[in-house]
Amino acid sequence: MKLIEAEDVWFSYNHEVMALKGVSLGIGKGETVALIGQNGGGKTTLAKHFNGLLKPTKGRVLVKGVETRTLPANKLAFTVGYVFQNPAHQIFSSKVRDEVSFGPHNAGLSSDEVERRTAEAIEKVGLKGYEDVHPYDLDYGKQKLLTVASIMSMNPEVYCLDEPTTGQDHKGRWMVADLIHRLNDSGATVVVITHDMRFVAEVAKRVVLIADGRILADMPTKEIFEKSEMLRSAQIKPPQITELAHSLTRYNVPASILTVTEMADALQSILRLHQR
Amino acid sequence: MVGNIIAITVQDFTYAYPNHSAVLQEINFEVRKSEMVGIIGPNGAGKSTLCKSLNGLIPHFYGGSIAGSVTVADMDTMKHSVAELSLKVGLVFQEPSNQFSGVSTKVDEEVAFGMSMMGYPREEMRPRIEEALHAVGLQGLEERSPYELSGGQQQRLAIATVLAVRPEIIVMDEPTAQLDPVGKTEVFQTMRDLNGKGYTIIVAEHEIEAMAAFADRILVLDHAEIVTQGETRKVLNEVKKLKQMGIDPPSVTELCEILRGELKIDEGKFPIELNEAISLFSRVLREHAK
């Protein structure tokens, strides 16, 4: 059984235009999946179905085998945590600590447990020392990390992160990437919505390309960046290093390269081979 | 295009917000007319503060303590009001919605807003609105609500509101940070067009590949200080220094630093754009295959 299953999901916000037009996919435990595609294509609408914030107009979504239509969103929050694109849509407390402890406190956990989870989540996102700061005094990048922490304290099985790298500097990007790796290592499933293809290459093993309410492609990250025509039609540019690899395939550079390190290794082995 | 006329001189400039320690320390740089200069650095390094120092918001609006001087279009920012300075230098914010007046229901009204606050006569406003909207590629959308525009269009409108005053210098503080890739491309293209028309452009950015393609020079800010500055290639070639500060240089440049031994090329000559890297590696691999 998949952790999340979408079966022929159609969705309309206004009963006129369909934002999702028959989307089907399954997400298994421990996967890291990137939802990519231009704005207005349906990425966020789809992800909001995973934790029951939205319910399908037609079709169904199952979380651990149970249809989301039969579950209240507050129940689903224990399984699937959703981090909004805009931190202002999520943050409502006047202190970092209160923002992070709200979820577990509200869930009725013991105060020791609430405290432990809060401290742990704040530390993991690198906000230690900011516990008493007003969230709106944090810069945008740190606000986004705070919204991740406030979901981490609920300890969900699935994290949906909507554009976690927007407004981050490079350090912040790496911090979010590292966080995703660590969450995934500890068994969590991560779904990330992003426009940052270098970030996709670093964190996701699988990519789902969504446009005009439909899934255009659903495949391993290593393969999708080779579909240059499809990407061009969806106005998506592969990471710079992958584009370089694509231009050098006639010299035996693998086209599946995703990171600078992979590229350096590949070139070193080619250059050494010829020296012998 | 870039001549020897100085557009901006920042000299021994140190600034602290009221009741805070200095967020800019001993800043020194010059910008020539028609240059495009990128400011890069981690969040919190002082990029936004530096941008606000170039149009007089610092010190006139924020107060605080200052040493040294900032001269923009031959005006000492300390001695001229924000209103006077705004005729010569326009500031574009990260969030277009922070730039909008909030009272205009149409794109052309939004462009007119700044001018009407400055008391421009009506007949002079019309051609300026047309010119500004044309420069950012928003002609034809005059009747739209600013809030119905896409992110990239909103940011271009924000640029148009600044352009209508016909400044010589445009300062942009992370203008693409909140935009999707389509919006980013639109704004960078607009920036490039304006620079081609002779505008001096200063832009704080994290998009390093765009800076590699567009900027003549780069200033690197870290912990309130300029750590390095110079011609774009020279600065982006300082891979180790940038990485230490948490700044990622273009991927192809980073690759060359790692392969320095094999490639036998010196720092300062590493490619900073994809096309340069493709020709370099094609040549190296072709020669090795022989």
Whichever domain contains B181, its CATH number is 3.40.50.300
Residue A167 belongs to domain spanning: 1-79+157-221
- B3 pLDDT more than 80: no
pLDDT of residue B227: 97
What's the mean pLDDT in B6-33? 96
For A154-165, b where at least 16 C-beta lie within 10 A, e where not — what string?
bbbbbbbbbbbb
Domain CATH number, residue A187: 3.40.50.300
Task: Identify whether residues A24 and A135 lie together within a single domain.
Answer: no
Whether the CB of B252 is below 8 Å from some CB of chain A: the reply is yes
In this predicted model, what pLDDT tens digit does every residue of B201-217 receive, in sequence order? 999 999 999 999 999 99
Q: Are B228 and B268 in contact (CB under 8 A)?
A: no
E-only strand ranges, chain B: 6-16, 24-32, 36-40, 65-72, 75-76, 89-92, 169-173, 200-204, 217-222, 225-231
B258 in any annotated domain: yes
B46 in any annotated domain: yes
pLDDT of residue B103: 83
Domain boundary among A177, A196, A221: A221
Task: Identify whether residues B97 and B62 lie together within a single domain.
Answer: yes
Mean pLDDT of all residues belonging to chain B:
93
List for chain A the helix, strand, coil content (%; round to 5): 45, 20, 35
What distance in Å separates residue B28's CA from the closest CA in chain A? 24
Q: What's phi and psi for B220, nearest 5 deg?
A: -110, 120
Task: Identify whether residues A61 and A135 lie together within a single domain.
Answer: no
3-state secondary structure of A41: coil
pLDDT of residue B18: 93
B130 in any annotated domain: yes
Whether the CB of B7 is below 8 Å from some CB of chain A: the reply is no
Task: Identify whether residues A51 and A140 lie together within a single domain.
Answer: no
Chain B residues inside the 8 Å CB shell of A173: 248
A238 in any annotated domain: no
A42 in any annotated domain: yes
Task: Identify whether residues B15 and B153 lie together within a single domain.
Answer: yes
Task: Identify whether residues A122 and A52 lie together within a single domain.
Answer: no
pLDDT of residue A130: 97
What distance in Å separates residue A80's CA from the closest CA in chain B? 26
pLDDT of residue B265: 87
B239 in any annotated domain: no
- Here the ipTM equals 0.90
Given pLDDT bands bounded at 50, 70 and 90, which one contains residue B240? very high
- B101 pLDDT more than 90: no
Please indicate whether residue B244 or residue A139 has the higher confidence score (pLDDT).
Answer: B244
Task: Identify whether residues A6 and A74 lie together within a single domain.
Answer: yes
Task: Identify whether residues B87 and B181 lie together within a single domain.
Answer: yes
Per-residue DSSP letters for A210-273? EETTEEEEEEEHHHHTT-HHHHHHTT-PPPHHHHHHHHTGGGT--TT--SHHHHHHHHHHHHHH
How many structural domains are present in chain A? 2
Given pLDDT bands bounded at 50, 70 and 90, which one contains residue B248? very high
Chain A residues with CB within 8 Å of chain B CB: 38-39, 139-141, 166-174, 195, 198, 235-237, 239-241, 243-244, 247-248, 251, 253, 260-261, 263-264, 267-268, 270-271, 274-275
Task: Report CB contact under 8 Å: B44, A260.
Answer: no
How many structural domains are present in chain B? 2
B25 strand-pairing partners: none
pLDDT of residue A275: 55
Task: Identify whether residues B125 and B196 lie together within a single domain.
Answer: yes
**What's the Cα-to-Cα distance from A222 to each of A201, A229, A244, A256, B277, rounded to whole Å?**
8, 16, 14, 5, 21
Whether the CB of B18 is below 8 Å from some CB of chain A: the reply is no
Q: What distance in Å separates the CA atoms of residue A119 and residue A125, rounded to the nearest whole number?
A: 10
- CB-nearest to A169 from B206, B282, B288 is B206
CA angle in degrees (0–180, nearest 5) for A224-B273-A255: 25
Task: Identify whether residues A55 and A151 lie together within a single domain.
Answer: no
B242 in any annotated domain: no
Q: What's phi and psi for A34, nearest 5 deg?
A: -105, 130
In this predicted model, what pLDDT tens digit does every residue of B53-99 receive, in sequence order? 999 999 999 999 999 999 999 999 999 999 999 999 999 998 887 88
**Test the A interface: residue of B47, B154, B189, B206 with most A CBs within 10 Å:** B206
- CB-nearest to A274 from B41, B206, B289 is B289
Task: Identify whether residues A38 and A165 lie together within a single domain.
Answer: yes
A230 in any annotated domain: no
Residue B175 belongs to domain spanning: 6-232
Task: Identify whether residues B228 and B274 lie together within a single domain.
Answer: no
What's the mean pLDDT in B95-110? 87
Task: Identify whether residues A61 and A163 lie together within a single domain.
Answer: yes
**Test the A interface: residue of B39, B49, B185, B248 with most A CBs within 10 Å:** B248
In this predicted model, what pLDDT tens digit does every residue of B123-177 receive, in sequence order? 899 999 999 999 999 999 999 999 888 888 999 999 999 999 999 999 999 999 8
A233 in any annotated domain: no
B241 in any annotated domain: no
**What's the Cα-to-Cα distance from B227 to each of A168, B201, B219, B222, B244, rounded to whole Å?**
21, 21, 8, 6, 12
A269 in any annotated domain: no
pLDDT of residue A98: 96
Longest CA span, chain B: 72
What's the mean pLDDT in B257-280? 93
3-state secondary structure of B100: coil
Domain boundary among A171, A187, A221: A221
Q: Would strands B200-204 and A58-63 be described as parallel, antiparallel, or unpaired?
A: unpaired
Task: Identify whether residues A183 and A164 lie together within a single domain.
Answer: yes
Task: Identify whether residues A5 and A126 lie together within a single domain.
Answer: no
Task: Identify whether residues B287 and B190 lie together within a single domain.
Answer: no
Which residues, given as ranges, of chain A have pLDDT below 50? 276
Task: Identify whether residues B133 and B262 lie together within a single domain.
Answer: no
Task: Identify whether residues A62 and A1 lie together within a single domain.
Answer: yes
Domain boundary among A173, A197, A221: A221
Give the long-range contacts of residues A177-184, CB within 8 A, separation 24 or more. A177/A202, A177/A203, A179/A124, A179/A125, A179/A145, A179/A148, A180/A32, A182/A124, A183/A152, A183/A159, A184/A30, A184/A32
